[in-house]
Amino acid sequence: MHQNHNFVSGLHTFICPSFSGLFPAVLNLASNALITTNATCGEKGPEMYCKLVEHVPGQPVRNPQCRICNQNSSNPNQRHPITNAIDGKNTWWQSPSIKNGIEYHYVTITLDLQQVFQIAYVIVKAANSPRPGNWILERSLDDVEYKPWQYHAVTDTECLTLYNIYPRTGPPSYAKDDEVICTSFYSKIHPLENGEIHISLINGRPSADDPSPELLEFTSARYIRLRFQRIRTLNADLMMFAHKDPREIDPIVTRRYYYSVKDISVGGMCICYGHARACPLDPATNKSRCECEHNTCGDSCDQCCPGFHQKPWRAGTFLTKTECEACNCHGKAEECYYDENVARRSLSLNIHGKYIGGGVCINCTQNTAGINCETCIDGFFRPKGVSPNYPRPCQPCHCNPIGSLNEVCVKDEKHARRGLAPGSCHCKTGFGGVSCDRCARGYTGYPDCKACNCSGLGSKNEDPCFGPCNCKENVEGGDCSRCKSGFFNLQEDNWKGCDECFCSGVSNRCQSSYWTYGKIQDMSGWYLTDLSGRIRVAPQQDDSDSPQQISISNAEARQTLPHSHYWSAPAPYLGNKLVILLEKNKIKYTLGWIARTS
């Protein structure tokens, strides 16, 4: 396959490889195609034909002569098979003349490119006859359903009468990516031989520089069909053909009307969706295959490779580069998949430490589990300070079967709850310790662990088993086991015993909920915006001792935002707000000024 630079130079010359997609070179795909036709001169035996250029009235040619075509001849100069149209040599294909019947106006040539390509152009060069008059260039993916690419007619009027399409006058132009036009530009009688037809399918269309899905679909084809429907004749012969069967006309006239094609060029490239710069031919299969880059896989680079699904696959364009991003499985899984719901909820940690994307790891190893293999399976835990990147981060839980509820302990710091560190077992009532192997405060007599007279949660007694009971400030009852009215959430590590109800002034009565809580330790997703929320300015993550610190300069914000602007919080901060209220957490907001030097 040879490369045609001139016709498609606009496709590639402006591309900057660092920021644009990757595309293979545009090659002449016809040279490797399978080509067929339904009629060839001399296939039924020797046939005489005459060149129109030698028989034009008023243009005498010295020693005009007719010639013989014969597909079975031993003389190669008499054979004009359809393969001559794509062999790159100075030979040609020729159809039977209409001396054999009017049906030879209707001749079809079909090229099978043997796989689907994106087609940029088609060039047809006539040989010893004028270019076809009326004909249709068609495309197909399956050789069953064909769709038109472009109509050609002898006159603009015939665009309407034959094809019901308003003619496009002058050189062909296109208003839409998938517009099918009709033109008479290439159906003129002159030149009488060696005329050319240039059909552009990409250049000149609205999204040629950044192809739209419509343009990609419109230019995708495996089969290309040239459906000739009328041979171009001299005007002097036109009326004769309109009223007589060609077989009743002088053979000197009818023998000079036939189709001839000396070259068909189909400029196209592999469909690699902007993810390959090369698409070599595999001699074993005789098919071209994309050499995928950007962490993409598949015959057409149409999917992300295993382990690279942090973001959904997207096609690259002539103007923009897109890459498949590796999932962050902390080295514990080789495969993952993309989940839009995970991405929407900002639950997946990417390789840059941001909760951006929707990669979900599959088949986590080393007893790990979770979206990013960041936690442990039941019965294992990751100790505090141990990174998920460690080779074997998860250790077995050691839960006493007498005092623990089950064999599952706190898996990591993210799952830690009040008073329970990673590795701590969930104890039955009355039991305590990391492994639930002793009695909790306020209980005595292991392994029975009976309750003491004073509550270990609400009393200030050094040993709750010895009275009298001395209740904490917000606790009451003979055994200090309940919160006073207006208070809730009795806890051992609360020096007042209970928290004050927060009911927005509507009531001062409440009761404890058994909901759990967690800490939000990531600041990804915050941005400054205007009141409408349409303009966004991202802050920077500060390199400080606190990973929860972000900042932005006022000057930077004012470049794109109005005087009044607002912080917008990501999804993890936009729940029912109860966590922040109950825990009395605060978001610290600091304004600073820097004096300008004169």
Report the alpha-carbon distance of residue 488 to residue 147 in Å, rounded. 74
Residue 295's Cβ-side half-sphere holds a number of Cα atoms within 13 Å equal to 17
Kindly list the distances between the CA atom of residue 253 and the CA atoms of 64, 247, 250, 257, in Å, as whole numbers in the listed order.
14, 10, 6, 8
Kindly list the distances between the CA atom of residue 60 and the CA atoms of 52, 194, 269, 526, 579, in Å, as whole numbers in the listed order.
11, 19, 46, 84, 100
Query: Hey, what are 89's tokens?
Result: 């040599």
Query: Hey, what are 422's tokens?
Result: 């990673």
Report the alpha-carbon distance of residue 208 to residue 218 in Å, rounded. 12
**3 state SS of 597:** coil
Residue closest to 435 by CA, chosen among 448, 420, 415, 450: 420
Specify whether the CB–CB gap between 457 and 471 falls below 8 A: no
Report the alpha-carbon distance of residue 220 to residue 544 in Å, rounded. 53
Report the alpha-carbon distance of residue 117 to residue 268 in Å, rounded. 6
Q: What is residue 176's predicted lDDT score, i.e. its pLDDT?
A: 95
Which DSSP letter does residue 42 get?
Answer: T
Kindly list the distances between the CA atom of residue 128 and the CA atoms of 49, 131, 257, in Å, as whole numbers in the listed order.
11, 9, 10
Q: What is residue 579's predicted lDDT score, i.e. its pLDDT?
A: 46
Q: What is residue 261's predicted lDDT score, i.e. its pLDDT?
A: 98
Q: What is residue 598's predicted lDDT score, i.e. its pLDDT?
A: 47
What is the residue extent of each domain of the chain?
A: 33-270, 527-583
The number of beta carbons lying within 10 Å of the beta carbon of residue 379 is 15
Measured at the CA of 165, the angle between CA 161 and CA 170, to 5 degrees, comes to: 105
Sequence-distant (≥ 6) Cβ neighbours of residue 214 within 8 angstroms: 176, 177, 178, 207
Specify whether the CB–CB gap between 95 and 41 falls below 8 A: yes
Summarised one tens digit per residue, pLDDT across range 472-495 is 999 999 999 999 999 999 998 899
Q: What is residue 245's predicted lDDT score, i.e. its pLDDT?
A: 63
Report the alpha-carbon distance of residue 43 to residue 79 in Å, rounded. 9
Residue closest to 492 by CA, chosen among 440, 548, 431: 440
Cis peptide leading into 468, omega within 30 of 0?
A: yes
Report the alpha-carbon distance of residue 335 to residue 439 in Å, rounded. 45
Report the alpha-carbon distance of residue 433 to residue 425 in Å, rounded. 8
Query: Hey, what are 9's tokens?
Result: 């130079």
Q: CA 280, 285, 286, 287 torsion: positive or negative?
A: negative
> Which contacts qualify for 574-583: CB closer than 8 Å, 24 or more apart?
578/515, 579/517, 579/518, 581/502, 582/489, 582/499, 582/502, 582/517, 583/517
Specify whether the CB–CB gap between 147 and 223 falls below 8 A: no
Report the alpha-carbon distance of residue 570 to residue 524 in Å, rounded. 7
Report the alpha-carbon distance of residue 195 to residue 191 in Å, rounded. 6
Cis peptide leading into 81, omega within 30 of 0?
A: no
Q: What is residue 593's predicted lDDT score, i.e. its pLDDT?
A: 57
- Residue 220 sits at φ, ψ, to 5 deg, of -85, 130
The number of beta carbons lying within 10 Å of the beta carbon of residue 60 is 9
Quickly list DSSP for 475-524.
EESTTS-EEPTTEE---TT-TTSSEEP--TTS-S---------------T
CATH architecture group of domain 33-270: Sandwich (2.60)
Report the alpha-carbon distance of residue 70 to residue 348 in Å, rounded. 71
Q: What is residue 15's predicted lDDT score, i.e. its pLDDT?
A: 45
pLDDT in tens, the chain (598 residues): 544 444 444 444 344 456 788 999 999 999 999 999 999 999 999 999 999 887 665 555 555 678 999 999 999 999 999 999 999 999 999 999 999 998 999 999 999 999 999 999 999 999 999 999 999 999 999 999 999 999 999 999 999 999 999 999 989 999 999 999 999 999 999 999 999 999 999 999 999 888 889 999 999 999 999 999 999 988 656 545 555 666 666 677 889 999 999 999 999 999 999 999 999 988 888 889 999 999 999 999 999 999 999 999 999 988 889 999 999 999 999 999 999 999 999 999 999 999 999 999 999 999 999 999 999 999 999 999 999 999 999 999 999 999 999 999 999 988 887 778 999 999 999 999 999 999 998 899 999 999 999 999 999 999 999 889 999 999 999 999 999 999 999 998 899 999 999 887 777 788 877 665 556 666 667 778 877 777 777 777 665 545 567 777 777 777 777 877 888 887 667 655 444 444 444 556 666 655 555 4
